[in-house]
Every structure is written in C-alpha cells, then in structure tokens.
Amino acid sequence: MNNYPQAARILVAIDCIIFGFDGKDIKLLLIKRNFDPEKGKWSLMGGFLDANEDLNDGAVRILNNLTGLKDIYVEQLETFGKAGRDPGERTVSVVFFALIKIDDHDSEAVKSHNASWITLDSRPKLIFDHEQMVLRAIEHLKYNAALHPIGFELVPERFTIPQLQKLYEAIYNIPIDRRNFSRKLLSTGLLIDTGYKNNNSTTKKATLYKLDAERYKAKFHSFWNFMPDSMKSQ
Amino acid sequence: MNNYPQAARILVAIDCIIFGFDGKDIKLLLIKRNFDPEKGKWSLMGGFLDANEDLNDGAVRILNNLTGLKDIYVEQLETFGKAGRDPGERTVSVVFFALIKIDDHDSEAVKSHNASWITLDSRPKLIFDHEQMVLRAIEHLKYNAALHPIGFELVPERFTIPQLQKLYEAIYNIPIDRRNFSRKLLSTGLLIDTGYKNNNSTTKKATLYKLDAERYKAKFHSFWNFMPDSMKSQ
DNA sequence: TTAAATTGTGTCATTTCAACACTAAAAACA
DNA sequence: TGTTTTTAGTGTTGAAATGACACAATTTAA
C-alpha cells in the first residue's frame, strides 16, 4: 500500500538533552562519539526511530540505553528539521528534554557510551545543530522550572530546602533570598518532612523532605513562580 | 552516500491547528478532505515535508496555501509519532499551532480547499489522531495566552479592550471582571491609543488601540498572568 | 567555650489583586 | 427633548503575596 507515492521518506532521529545537578552545577550528559560520522566529536545521545516504534518509546529506549534508568522525567521539546542539518542524509530530529537524579544512573552504561557529565559553562563544541538544541533546552529549563515543580526531578528523593535553593540559583544564575524561598516552597504544600536530617552537613543539619506525590500530580499544572521578578524582563 | 543503512525512512507530515476569533467564539479552520484516503472526512490542514524543505518553511507553505497569508503567527507545537497513527503508511506528524486574524485570510483559497471555520464546541470527528492534536493545541492556547501576549494575534490590528476581554473569556470560558482586566492590560504598556473609537458600537464607542510592536517583542517573554486564579488549579 | 557556618522562623512595609461603586457616552424610544 | 438602556472608562478598599531584613538555633572545629 502506498497512498502517498510522491512524498519524501526521511530519517527520523531522536536526540536527548539530559540534565543533572550535582549540588552545585547544572550538568549535561554528553557523549564522545565512537562511531562514524563525526567519530571522536561530542554530541547529544541519540539514535533513529525504528520503523514500528512509537516516538516516545524511542526516547525512552535511548535514555535507558545510556543511563540504565527506566523512569526518567522526559518531555518532548522540539523537532529540528532544517534541510541541511545532518550533512550525511536528510534527517529530522525530535529532541527530548530529560531530567535525572544524577546519582541514580548506571555509571557503567554511561562509561561504555563514552559519555560524561559536563557543566554548562565548560561544554564542548557539539556536532550538527546540537548546540542549538542545548540552548533551546536551557531556555526550556529556565522557563519551566519557574512554573512547574520540575526541579524536584533533579535532586535526590530526599532533599533539603537549601539543596533546592542551590538548584534554582544554578538554573537562574542569581542569588535567592533564603527566607523568602523557604516560605514560598513550604507554602506549596508539596513537601513532606521525612523526620530525618541531612547528616552530610558539617554545620546545622537541614531537614530532609520528600515530595508529596499526590499533590505533585495534582498541582503540576498550577502556576508557580520561583523565578524572581528580576528575571521576568529577560 | 548512506551513513545509516539500517535506519527506517519515514514520511514526515505537517499538520496545522489554525485558530481564529470572530468576536464571540474561538474557531478552528478545518478542511473536508476532497482526496483519498479518508476522502469526505474532516481533518486538519496538512501536507508532507518535501525532501529539501526546512520544516518551518513547510508549515508556512501549507498555511499560505490554505489562507493566502504570509505573516501568520506560527509555533511548532508537538510531534505525533505513534507507530499506527496513520493507517496508510508509517508517518510522523509535526504539528504547528497558528493564530490568525480571522478577517484577514483569503476566503477564496479557503473555499477551494473545502475548509470552514468551526467553533470548538461544534467541531466534527476528525481523522487519525487529529482530535488529540486539537486538544493539545487548546491546552497550549490556554497555557500560553496567560503568559504571553499572543491574544493580540487573534484580534484585528486595531482592537478595543472589551474585544480583548471577550477573547480571553472565550479562551478560558469564564467571566472576567472588566475593571481589573482593563487595569492589568493597560499596565503592561503594550497598548497604544490610536485616537480613534470603535464606530461599530451602538452604545458608548470604545477606544481603539494598537500593539506597541517594539515593546511587544521586548516583553514577549516576560510573564503575564491573565489567567484568573480560579483556573490555576486545573 | 568560643567562633564560624549554616539552618529555621519572624517582622514589616510595599505591591498586587480581587471585589465592588460610580461616572460617561451613545443610541433607542417615549 | 429628555429618559431609558447599554456599554465603556476610572476609582476605592481590604486582603493576600512579596521582598527586604533581623534574630535565634544547631553543629563542628578551633
């Protein structure tokens, strides 16, 4: 059956922007390609959509392949389709935006793919239009972290408020008032006190919270605003 | 040259959700297909990406083809890629979200495509997964009209504040307080008083404003919030 | 036990927001 | 002609949210 004989058949790629947070910096999981073309150069983790594979399944497959993780926070971001974007062959790339708890992934799988966690500031030149994809993903992170509770995807299951604050300070690259941040965060009702304290601290130990999964789902689409006003004009 | 011999080549479609506003209702521009497959059924306006065509150019081409318009507000929305979504052949569809000033389009071109403006409430069953695409676009409209000044794309070049209010009331399907709406809108500094009044009115004539194009660009990414709190929990 | 660093809670003035009352303009109609 | 009806435009006020800032509590190390 061929209902559309004259239309072009095109390669459909999937590329993944994977963000992590090490407690200090936002990092990207990038791979050094050990295959042609562009062998030896840095790129996003990616692959091709299979003939009978759902698009989102493809993204999950590729993310799982690299990290060994099953339940990754992943959103479809944007499809890049400039005619010459892949010099090898016409390829349309669907870009996915993923957030992972940086300590959860399978570091063996990562190593075998020649992948590394790299801070945003020190990221290398990437192949094709991958740099544009990264810029788009950073924009998306800034935009969405202000409006939805996606920041929780980047910190451990049990986290402290100061930890979250450092995350937001890293995302927006500005200092945030500790007291106002804490008040705003607690007022969401999304945090459950685990009763434990953070023992890694060398000074006062902070309370460990976990997410209220029920409320998280219910409130995901309600509008937060952790972005300070000073950012709003940008 | 074939660097990726084993990967699948797939049809890449472009489908467009086109919203308009007639002063009372939000409407969709839908076509009744006069070609196979699914001839005679309702669908979104669409087509296939050409072999050497940029993705966004393809969307502009398809929109121009239907409406005769060149400068349409258009954003890429989401790519739909379930394996069986088009029973004819494996097709990945990139969906675009377009807003037009409903009186601007070329109604001859629309007529020749068997297209009609249809209110959201009375929209017919659509082919394939087009209904899901429409739902996604409505969600996007609600979300984004609250945060960005995209509402202006749906009203005439010169518009009144009550006109805009009716638009927002239609988008969110709720009544909005006239006085608070006006104050909020004027405080953005995006409106320029044209000095004219709306002569279509049978009562007090409202002031006609136009957009401050400079400020519109500068403020596009600043966060508005025209969505009333009552909507935030949804 | 004192100092240094960090966490947790409180206060207060300013701003924003939602709810509501009043005035102004324009046409229809008595 | 002036009264009614409808819609547009501006003002007020109390409540809630926000940003700036002070102080107390906890923990380790000196």
Q: What is the CB neighbour count within 10 angstroms for residue A209?
A: 22
Q: Which of B10, B54, B146 sits opposite A10 (nearest CB)?
A: B10
Q: Name the residue with the least CA to C1' distance from nucleotide D20.
A: A177
| Residue A121: other Cβ atoms inside 10 A | 7
Domain boundary among A147, A179, A210: A147
Query: Is the pLDDT confidence value at B100 over 90?
Result: yes
Does A129 share its domain with A117? yes
CATH for A227: 1.10.10.10
Count structural domains, chain B. Answer: 2
Crossing angle for the helix pair B130-145 and B161-172, to the nearest 10 degrees: 130
Whether B162 and B170 have beta carbons less than 8 Å apart is answered as: no
Cα–Cα distance for residue pair B81/A56, rounded to 1 Å: 8
Positive or negative, the CA dihedral B133, B226, B205, B213 is: negative
Residues 103-122, chain A: which have Cβ within 8 Å of B? none
- Per-residue pLDDT at A55 exceeds 50: yes
Question: Are residues A68 and A162 both part of a single domain?
Answer: no
A174 touches strand D (CB under 7 A): no
Mean pLDDT across chain A: 92
Q: Which of B127, B147, B167 is the last residue of a domain?
A: B147
> How far A95 CA lies from chain B's nearest CA (Å)?
10
Strands (DSSP E) found in chain A? 9-21, 26-32, 42-43, 45-48, 73-80, 91-99, 115-119, 191-197, 207-211
* CB of B162 lies under 7 Å from some atom of strand D: yes
Does A44 share its domain with A141? yes
Q: Is residue A4 part of a domain?
A: no
A82 close to B (CB below 8 A): yes
Q: Is the CB of B166 less than 7 A from some atom of nucleic acid strand D? A: no
The contacts of residue B110 (CB under 8 Å, 6+ apart) are B29, B66, B67, B116
- The pair of structure tokens assigned to A50 is 């299979």
**A179-208 pLDDT per residue, tens:** 999 999 999 999 999 999 998 888 999 999
Amino acid at B43: S
Averaged pLDDT of chain B: 92
Measure in Å the smallest separation between the Cα of A58 and chain B Cα atoms.
Answer: 10
What CATH number is associated with residue B102? Answer: 3.90.79.10
In this structure, are A59 and A167 located in the same domain? Answer: no
* Closest by CA position to B19, among listed B94, B93, B97: B97
Selected for mutation to probe chain A from B62, B79, B127 (highest A CB count within 10 Å) is: B79
Indicate whether A224 and A190 sit together in one domain.
Answer: yes
Q: Could you tell me if B172 and B140 lie in one domain?
A: no
Cα angle, residue B181 at apex, residues B177 and B183 outer, rounded to 5°: 125
Q: Measure in Å the smallest separation between the Cα of B51 and chain A Cα atoms.
A: 5
Residue B5 lies in a domain: no
Q: Is the dihedral of CA A109, A111, A115, A117 positive or negative?
A: positive
Whether residue B48 lies within 8 A of chain A, CB to CB, comes out as yes
Q: Is the pLDDT of residue A25 over 90?
A: yes
Residue B46, classed as helix, strand or coil, is: strand
In this structure, the answer to whether residues B109 and B87 fall within a common structural domain is yes
Contact B141, B171 (CB under 8 A): yes
What per-residue confidence (pLDDT) applies to B234?
Answer: 39
| Same domain, yes or no: B53 and B23 | yes
Distance from B201 to chain A by nearest Cα, in Å? 37
Identify whether A217 is part of a domain: yes
Q: Do A142 and A26 belong together in one domain?
A: yes
Tell me the CA end-to-end span of chain B in Å, nearest whole number. 51
Domain boundary among A89, A117, A147: A147
- Examine residue A222 and state whether it is found in any structural domain, yes or no: yes
Nearest to A185 by CA among A219, A214, A157: A219
A108-129 pLDDT tens trace:
999 999 999 999 999 999 999 9
Q: Taking CB atoms and an 8 Å limit, are B9 and A7 in contact across chains?
A: no
Whether B3 maps to a domain, the answer reads no
Residue A3 lies in a domain: no
Query: Considering only A215-229, B31-45, B47-61, B198-212, which range has the smallest mean pLDDT?
Result: A215-229
Q: Do residues A40 and A73 share a domain?
A: yes
Flag whether A140 is in a domain: yes
Residue A5 in any domain: the answer is no
pLDDT (average), residues A42-58: 97
Can you name the residues that pair with B28 across neighbouring β-strands? B19, B118
Of B88, B92, B225, the CB nearest to A4: B88
Instruction: Verify that B35 and B132 share a domain, yes or no.
Output: yes
**Do B79 and B105 belong to one domain?**
yes
Q: Which nucleotides of C are covered by protein (CB under 7 A)?
A: 4-11, 17-21, 24-28
CB contact under 8 A, B54 and A83: yes
Whether any strand C atom is under 7 angstroms from the Cβ of B228: the reply reads: yes
User: Domain of A180?
Assistant: 150-233
Structure tokens at B11: 């049809």
Q: H helices within chain B, ranges in order? A: 55-67, 107-112, 130-145, 161-172, 178-187, 213-219, 229-232
CA B156, CA B21: separation in Å to the nearest integer? 10
Cα(B53)–Cα(B74) distance, integer angstroms: 17
Distance B229 CA to C19 C1' (A): 14
Measure CB to CB from residue A8 to each of B48, B88, B146 and give the nearest one. B48
The model's pLDDT over A127-170, given as tens digits with 9 standing for 90+, comes to 999 999 999 999 999 989 988 999 999 999 999 999 999 999 99
Task: Tell me how crowded residue A128 is: count the other CB atoms within 10 A of its CB.
Answer: 24
